[in-house]
């Protein structure tokens, strides 16, 4: 099936100032150091887009909790097909996995409480849910104490989102990915996607989906159009209204976008907007008052700072009517967007120790990263880094001033695509920067050579745990 292309337009044709958009792009590029992509739609047309190289339009990007909004959509579709209701009780779907004794709060929990993060738990269930020895996350969720009557209070709970996925799979006989493919992904022209599954073969509803930036924008446009796509009804308008409206309160601080209320796996925002979002800055921001959608991927710690810049710098760029053409400003915007890049690091000239360690293999004691050995082969400005992890060897080409593609260990996942750059940072220190190019994560390894030993200090961004990795010490074979 041919995929329809999104219309491209100059900003001015859609009532948006090119100069204003350029100011927004310039400011986020200057202040947000790990932007990966953005796409801005108005009236359904792409008016600006950009990727910070080596990130690119054709690559998928891990969404983290932005996945939840797609899970909610699957629930809406299943409800429209009569397969479930938001008022159905959660236990009714899993009689065989329910605990022997169930308290009244668990008995009272309904699908709508999962959707609105108001299950009655006092903390996120995810960590406890996934630690079961039998690897049955549904049993894990249902076995936990529900401290309050469902409906209050709001507690962010990725375990609840997982249960929504499990429910949809139970009533449809299909994983979310398979259920949504003909109902959502194919109609919207979304072909590239990956979605992680739990040990029992259920798509992880609270996270795990990876799609392209344009796919995020298409999804937001579907919601902006209240469930219509190219004149065809994809999602019931009533579901869109309910999902994106404030269903529960999550406190009230007017200047914070995480305190504006929560819908069905969507956050309310300031300025009449709403969004799906994921850790480290994955956004699908829908702005009904501006008839606009903004998709962003990034790797930031302060997610509020990105939204602040949207409201401060981008919102003023919108006008109410078509603007007079401004070719010079549009050309400057296009030039700015096409030049965006995460520049590779630079270093020092190659020291004498490079020839002493080149071709040598360093072995490591058992470690959490499961790295058995590394070999460094230096030639000119390049280094071929051979990493043995598990039963496999990975050959990564590192060059100063360039991002080179390769495949690396996935830290508990299958091998993953990366881009790498390597530079000398001192007489005995070689640094490898590895971008996990389809995720927000970047790993920096600084290798200190001394005699027949290498000491490796690692650091991650885009990590829920400590950013500093355990130090590795390797002995030359």
User: Long-range contact list for 412-415, CB < 8 A, 24+ apart?
Assistant: none
Rounded to the nearest angstrom, the gap between the alpha carbon of residue 252 and the centroid of all alpha carbons in its chain is: 26
Beta bridge partners of 386: 375, 395
Cβ 434 vs Cβ 417: under 8 Å: no
Cβ-proximal residues to 254 (8 Å cutoff; 6+ apart), any chain: 270
- The domains of the chain are located at 353-476
Tokens encoding 172:
């449809």
Question: In this structure, are residues 461 and 347 in contact, taking their beta carbons and an 8 Å threshold?
Answer: no
> Which residues contact residue 116 at a Cβ distance below 8 angstroms, ignoring those fewer than 6 apart?
154, 247, 248, 262, 263, 264
Q: How does pLDDT run along the chain (477 residues), one tens digit per residue?
A: 556 789 999 999 999 999 999 999 999 999 999 999 999 999 999 999 999 999 999 999 999 999 999 999 999 999 999 999 999 999 999 999 999 999 999 999 999 999 999 999 999 999 999 999 999 999 999 999 999 999 978 999 999 999 999 999 999 999 999 999 999 999 999 999 999 999 999 999 999 999 999 999 999 999 999 999 999 999 999 999 999 999 999 987 778 999 999 999 999 999 999 999 999 999 999 999 999 999 999 999 999 999 999 999 999 999 999 999 999 999 999 999 999 999 999 999 999 999 999 999 999 999 988 899 999 999 988 999 999 998 899 999 999 999 999 999 876 567 899 999 999 999 999 999 999 999 999 999 999 999 999 999 999 987 777 889 999 999 999
Give the residue ranges of DSSP H helices in 189-280: 213-224, 237-244
Please compute, for residue 227, the number of CA atoms within 13 A of its CA located in the half-sphere on the CB side. 18
Longest dimension (CA), the chain: 72
Which positions ≥6 away from 343 have C-beta within 8 Å?
A: none
CA distances from 368 to 128, 295, 389, 447 (A): 21, 35, 11, 18
pLDDT at 1: 52
How would you class 83 by CB atoms within 10 Å of its CB: exposed for 0-12, middle for 13-18, buried for 19 or more? middle
Structure tokens at 25: 């792009």
CB 420 within 8 A of CB 404: yes
CA dist 191 and 270 (Å) reads 32
Beta bridge partners, 448, equal 429, 455
- Nearest residue to 42 (alpha-carbon basis) of 237, 282, 319: 319
Neighbouring-strand partners of residue 407? 417
C-alpha to C-alpha distance for 27 and 13, rounded to whole angstroms: 24
- Which residue is listed with tokens 């919102």? 315
Query: For residue 168, what are the contacts with CB-CB under 8 A and spacing of at least 6?
Result: 71, 74, 75, 78, 84, 176, 179, 205
**With 0-12 CB in 10 A as exposed, 13-18 as middle and 19+ as buried, what is 276?**
buried
Note the pLDDT of residue 414. 77
pLDDT at residue 380, rounded to an integer = 84
- Measured in degrees and rounded to the nearest 5, phi and psi for residue 458 equal -115, 150
Q: How remote is the C-alpha of 321 from its chain's centroid?
A: 34
Between helix 158-172 and helix 67-80 the angle, nearest 10°, is 40
**Confidence (pTM):** 0.96
Of 217, 214, 189, 215, the C-alpha closest to 294 is 217
In this structure, the number of other CB atoms found within 10 A of the CB of residue 467 comes to 12
The single-letter DSSP state of residue 411 is S
Q: How much is the CA Rg of the chain, to the nearest whole Å?
A: 24
Whole-number pLDDT of residue 411? 63
Among candidate residues 234, 276, 240, the one with its CA nearest the CA of residue 81: 234
Provide the pLDDT for residue 438: 96
Alpha-carbon distance 119 to 157, whole Å?
8
Residue 79 · residue 86 · CB < 8 Å: yes
Provide CATH code, domain 353-476.
Answer: 2.40.128.20
CB count in 10 Å sphere of residue 124: 16
The continuous run of DSSP H or E covering 426 comes out as: strand 416-426
């Amino acid at each position: 099936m041919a995929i329809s292309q999104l219309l491209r337009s100059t900003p001015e044709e859609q009532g948006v100032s090119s100069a204003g958009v350029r100011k927004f792009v310039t400011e986020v590029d200057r202040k947000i150091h790990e932007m990966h992509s953005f796409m801005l739609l108005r009236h359904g047309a792409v008016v600006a887009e950009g990727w910070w190289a080596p990130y690119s339009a054709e690559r998928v990007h891990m969404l983290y909790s932005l996945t939840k909004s797609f899970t909610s959509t699957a629930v809406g579709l299943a409800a429209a097909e009569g397969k479930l209701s938001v008022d159905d009780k959660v236990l009714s779907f899993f009689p065989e996995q329910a605990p022997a004794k169930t308290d009244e709060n668990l008995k009272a929990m309904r699908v709508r409480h999962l959707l609105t993060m108001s299950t009655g738990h006092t903390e996120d269930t995810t960590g406890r849910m996934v630690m079961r020895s039998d690897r049955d996350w549904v049993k894990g969720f249902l076995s936990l104490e529900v401290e309050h009557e469902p409906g209050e209070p709001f507690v962010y709970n990725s375990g609840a989102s997982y249960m929504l996925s499990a429910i949809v799979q139970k009533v449809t006989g299909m994983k979310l990915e398979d259920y949504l493919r003909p109902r959502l992904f194919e109609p919207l022209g979304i072909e590239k996607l990956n979605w992680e599954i739990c040990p029992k073969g259920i798509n992880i509803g609270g996270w795990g989906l990876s799609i392209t930036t344009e796919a995020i924008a298409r999804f937001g446009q579907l919601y902006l159009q209240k469930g219509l796509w190219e004149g065809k009804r994809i999602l019931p308008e009533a579901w869109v209204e309910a999902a994106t409206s404030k269903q529960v309160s999550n406190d009230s601080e007017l200047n914070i976008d995480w305190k504006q209320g929560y819908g069905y796996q969507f956050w309310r925002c300031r300025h009449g907007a709403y969004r799906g979002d994921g850790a480290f800055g994955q956004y699908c921001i829908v702005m009904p008052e501006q008839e606009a959608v903004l998709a962003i991927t990034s790797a930031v710690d302060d997610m509020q700072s990105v939204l602040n810049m949207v409201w401060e710098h981008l919102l003023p760029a919108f006008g109410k009517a078509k603007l007079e053409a401004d070719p010079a400003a549009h050309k400057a915007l296009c030039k700015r967007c096409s030049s965006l890049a995460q520049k590779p690091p630079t270093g020092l000239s190659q020291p004498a120790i490079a020839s002493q360690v080149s071709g040598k293999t360093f072995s490591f004691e058992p470690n959490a990263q499961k790295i058995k050995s590394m070999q460094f082969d230096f030639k000119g400005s390049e280094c071929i880094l051979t990493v043995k992890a598990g039963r496999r060897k990975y050959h990564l080409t590192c060059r100063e001033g360039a991002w080179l593609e390769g495949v690396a260990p996935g830290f508990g996942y299958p091998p993953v695509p990366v881009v790498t750059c390597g530079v000398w940072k001192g007489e005995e220190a070689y640094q490898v920067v590895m971008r996990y190019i389809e995720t927000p994560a970047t790993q920096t390894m600084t290798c200190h050579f001394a005699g027949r030993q290498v000491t490796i200090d690692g650091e991650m961004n885009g990590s829920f745990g400590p950013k500093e990795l355990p130090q590795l010490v390797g002995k030359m074979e």
